[in-house]
Structure 1
Amino acid sequence: MEPVVRWTGHEAGLLRQALRKTVKDFATQVGVSPRQITTWENRGSTISLQPDNQTSLDTVLARADVPVQQRFAKSLTEKAAAGTDERAEQLLRRDLRTTRHAVDGELMVQVDEGIYLGGPRGTAEWLDAFLIDQFPTTNADYARFVTATGYRPPQHWPGGRCLVSLRDHPVVWVTWHDASAYAAWSGKTLPTARQWEKAARGPKGRSYPWGDEPTAAKCNVAEAGIGTTTPVNRYRSGVSPYGVVDLCGNTWEWCSTEAEPGRFELKGSAYTSPFERAAPFLHNAANATMKDNDTGFRCVTALPDSR
């Protein structure tokens, strides 16, 4: 897995728990006294460890078995994802002008009409108001579509049935045509690349949904070391200015914008992607028949009074 950029008492404590070691045994492995380990853990993120101790912890992590590394990565990202993010908490508590869609039951968030700053240079562009799914389409959502229409299920569902453990994960292994079929059934459409970008960056063109800081811990990207999709509501601290969640990482999302004949834009990056690919203004595209374990979608629709 990726090395820890900066070890504090918090990360050291999570590593000890992942190793399932006592304070005494962990201290011996790191090469410090048990009292030091206790001090680190009590002080948590308020203490940055000395360079030699950081190096020792790097070594312990690198030599750990894969299950240990996976437990450590999961604990680390769960803490960061939930986080103490006052901006996210205030945003998610306020009235987001949400509405429950009549067909697929998805919670949708309003994105206001007006100018937004898009693209790598922050070019001013106008968009009409629209509603966008607050979360990516989940396996549970897609299962309702499959049941209602008889549409073929994704290949990762054993026997054509969605696993209970994946119900709140984004659906994957869907082509652009599959995503479009779901959108048509629900009376919605796939977002244009511009709609998706505005929903992610807000009107002022921030670099990421949460702001301009490149904080990989706010999304499920390769650096997290999880190696699979996560529940769509896990990374709430990565919420956009409009209250839209999971726009960076987890899965690439199909858009309706055609990059060239037969190829459509993808946005958002995925758990398989390095964080550098997560910026919402970046372009990616794939053939409409492409399907993979890291590609899903969400939908949009016009406001009821503007149809």
Structure 2
Amino acid sequence: MPLVTKWTGREVKALRESVRMSLMEFAEKLGVSDRIVSRWEADGERASIRMINQAALDTLLAKADKDAQGRFVGILAADDAPIHSIIEPGSGETSSGDYVKHPGDGKLMAHVPEGIYLSGADSEPVWVDDFHIDTFPTTNADYARFCAATRYAVPEHWENGRCPRDLYDHPVVHVTWRDATAYAAWAGKSLPTSEQWEKAARGTTGRTFPWGDQKTAAKCNVRETGIERTTSVSRYHSGVSPYGVYDMVGNVWEWLATATTAGRHELRGSAFTSPLFRGVPAVPNDAYDTMLDDDTGFRCVATPEQMMPGGQ
């Protein structure tokens, strides 16, 4: 099932069209007036939707049949890419929809089963044990909860120590590798190894990008997309990986557990500041673990033991 971390008028209109309801029918399902739905759609991404209505939209999407869910992704993909198609997983790969919440930080995680995947530019077979990976990068809202719980220093660019409300569902940035590791330890998780991250991004069959082999910059937030800032972590529905993981290319570079030399660790995935070719999941980057920037964040992974309440 597709996921939406923050509903705006853009997603509301896509859902209404995908379930093929009139404004009045759709509003009745949600328990609001048709004027409210009309205003949401007119406001687009600027729409402010109350949490109780966000929950009702989550429920309506979850209860929609598979065809409607497919149409929902396709309608949103029309904004993201010139080729309006739904990417199907290859043989032996899982599709999006099998998500569970981690008992530590409560984030949704996707399961990546054990087995061999084709790694690197030469597609060498590599075995990886099964694990779960955050469906979305760590957001500002996630990081704010961590800082509040541990009194950890907040990112330096937050005004008066608080993240702007309109960036809650954007990836946290201005975090060092050490900051990312501290969050992971608090949550009872780890940073991904390069092998874990690459398999979650590419699947098992050696595809170039999470969505396939097409060089389609509109499926992610990279330099060619022209947005020039971070975006909501759930924006690019047409760019998800075979395991249903979002933003594995673009938006922000992601810190990994894998060290390259003393004091340096891998980064992967590219960012809104970098061209699409830098985001090829098989191609590593690295930086000093004290580096922080406006285009660098992270996500976490968990072993089966770490998925258990109180597990480490």
TM-score (structure 1 length as normaliser) = 0.71
Q: Residues of 1 paired with 2:212 and 2:218: CA distance?
A: 13
Q: 2:113 is matched with which residue?
A: 112
Asked if the contact 1:190/1:300 (under 8 Å) is kept, the reply is yes
How far did residue 254 of structure 1 move? 0.1
| Pairing 1:207–2:221 present | no
- SS of equivalent residue, structure 1 residue 126: strand
Task: Tell me if structure 2 keeps the 8 A contact 1:81–1:234.
Answer: no
Q: How does 1:7-46 map to 2 (within 5 A)?
A: none
8 Å contact from structure 2 (residues 173, 295) kept in 1: yes
- Partner Cα separation in structure 2 for residue 213 and residue 85 of structure 1: 12
Cα distance, 1:138 vs structure 2: 0.2
Q: How big is the shift at 1:155?
A: 1.2
> Who is 1:129 aligned against?
130
Please tell me whether the aligned partners of residues 78 and 84 of structure 2 are also in contact (alpha carbons under 8 angstroms).
no
| Preserved contact between residue 96 and residue 244 of structure 2 (Cα < 8 Å) | no
- CA change 1:82–1:196 in 2 (3 A) is farther
Q: Deviations over 1:38-61 (max 9, x none)?
A: xxxxxxxxxxxxxxxxxxxxxxxx
Does the aligned pair in 1 maintain the 2:96–2:242 contact within 8 Å? no
User: What SS does the corresponding residue of 1:158 show, helix, strand or coil?
Assistant: coil
Separation in structure 1 between the aligned mates of residue 140 and residue 189 of structure 2, nearest angstrom: 18
Q: State how many pairs are aligned.
A: 229
Q: CA deviation at 1:80?
A: 1.6
Aligned partner letter, 2:128: L
Q: Residue type matched to 1:121 in 2?
A: D
* Structure 1 counterpart of 2:240, one-letter code: V
Report the CA distance shift for 1:265/1:85 in structure 2 as closer, same or farther (over 3 A).
same
> CA deviation digits over 1:83-114, x for unaligned, max 9?
7332269xxx9673321011211100000100
Contact 1:118/1:124 (8 A) holds in 2: yes
Q: 1:88 to 1:166 in 2, by over 3 A?
A: farther
Structure 2 CA distance, aligned partners of 1:209 and 1:219? 10
Q: Secondary structure at the match of 2:267?
A: strand
Partner of 1:5: none
Superposition map of 1:210-249 within 5 A: 210-249=211-250
Going from structure 1 to structure 2, the CA distance change for 1:117 and 1:226 (only over 3 Å counts) comes to same
Instruction: Report the Cα distance in structure 2 between the residues aligned to 1:215 and 1:94, rounded to whole angstroms.
Output: 20
Whether 1:100 and 2:101 are equivalent positions in the alignment is yes
Partner of 1:80: 80
Q: 1:95 to 1:80 in 2, by over 3 A?
A: closer
Q: Which residue does the alignment assign to 1:144?
A: 145
Q: d(CA) in 1 for partners of 2:78 and 2:156?
A: 28
Q: 1:95 to 1:263 in 2, by over 3 A?
A: closer
Offset of residue 160 of structure 1: 0.7
Task: Flag structure 1 segments of 5+ consecutive residues without an equivalent.
Answer: 1-75
Aligned counterpart, 1:274: 275
Cα deviation, residue 78, structure 1: 7.7
Letter in 1 for 2:243: Y
| AA matched with 1:293 | D
CA distance in 2, matches of 1:206, 1:212: 6
Q: Is the 8 A contact 2:136 2:247 kept in 1?
A: yes
Q: Distance in 2 between matches of 1:77 and 1:237?
A: 5
CA distance in 2 between counterparts of 1:94 and 1:119 reads 22
Q: Which runs of 5+ in 2 are unaligned?
A: 1-75
Return the alpha-carbon distance in structure 2 between the equivalents of residues 203 and 77 of structure 1: 24
Q: Which residue of 1 aligns with 2:180?
A: 179
d(CA) in 1 for partners of 2:262 and 2:96? Answer: 41
Whichever structure has more helix as a proportion of its residues is 1
Contact 1:228 1:271 (C-alpha < 8 Å) held by counterparts: yes
Q: Do the aligned residues in 2 keep the contact of 1:82 with 1:234 (CA within 8 Å)? A: no
Specify the alignment match of 1:157 in structure 2. 158
Residue equivalent to 1:192: 193
Displacement of 1:303 in angstroms is 1.6
Alpha-carbon distance, 1:120 to partner: 0.4
User: Separation in 1 of the partners of 2:277 and 2:77?
Assistant: 17
> Letter of the aligned partner of 2:101 in structure 1?
R
Contact 1:137 1:298 in 2 (8 A): yes
Q: CA offsets, 1:252-283, max 9 Å, x none? A: 00000001110000000000001110100001
Which protein shows a greater Rg?
Answer: 1
Matched, 1:298 2:280: no
Q: TM-score, normalised by structure 2?
A: 0.70
CA gap of 1:82–1:183, structure 2 versus 1, over 3 A, is farther
Aligned structure 1 segments of 4 or more residues deviating by more than 6 angstroms: none
